[in-house]
Amino acid sequence: MGLSLEFYAGDADAIGGAFTECDFDRLQEGGIAHSYADLSLHIPIEDLDVLSEQMAILLGEPFVGFLDSLGRVVGGSEGESGAQVVSPGWIRFAAKVPEIKVGELAKMWIDAASKKAGVEYADPSCAESALLELVRLCGRAIEKKSSVVFAWYL
């Protein structure tokens, strides 16, 4: 199956509990989380820092590392899954990406991640819709003053 990388916006503790219970229907369909973004693109978690690097270049702003932005653990199971709250600084950073620039960001990210890994990743168009979901999720989280939870599972 591979590594799944997902983002949820809403009440962090409720999201973490549902994630730990593997209640993905309620998480992904708006029952617990008001927004959802799936970045399961057959990439390692570290490539989310590559994404942050490319966002900084695109925006002309200082780099805000994704991995350094992960905070309190709210769910998961040892070695199989995890769910952590994302810092408000990274959420604001990601929300600044103009939707019209998401396609350009997707190409920049996939090119940089492919170069770093030394392998050719998928067509950037596969990442474009996932990134658009993520940018919108971050914007909605700011509007609703809610948390963003990053979750991964095998």
Residues 84, 88, 90, 94, Cα dihedral to 10°: 110
Pairwise pLDDT comparison (29 vs 104), residue with the higher score: 104
Print the domain residue range for 48. 4-152
> What's this model's pTM, rounded to 2 decimal places?
0.95
Local confidence band at 124 (pLDDT 50, 70, 90 cut-offs):
confident
Local confidence band at 90 (pLDDT 50, 70, 90 cut-offs):
very high
Q: What is the pLDDT of residue 30?
A: 75
Indicate the residue type of 68. Answer: D
Residues contacting 97, CB < 8 A, separation 6+: 55, 58, 59, 105, 131, 135
- Considering its fold, how many domains does the chain have in total? 1
Tell me the per-residue pLDDT of 24-79, one tens digit each, with 9 for 90 and over: 888 887 789 999 999 999 899 999 999 999 999 999 999 999 999 999 999 999 99
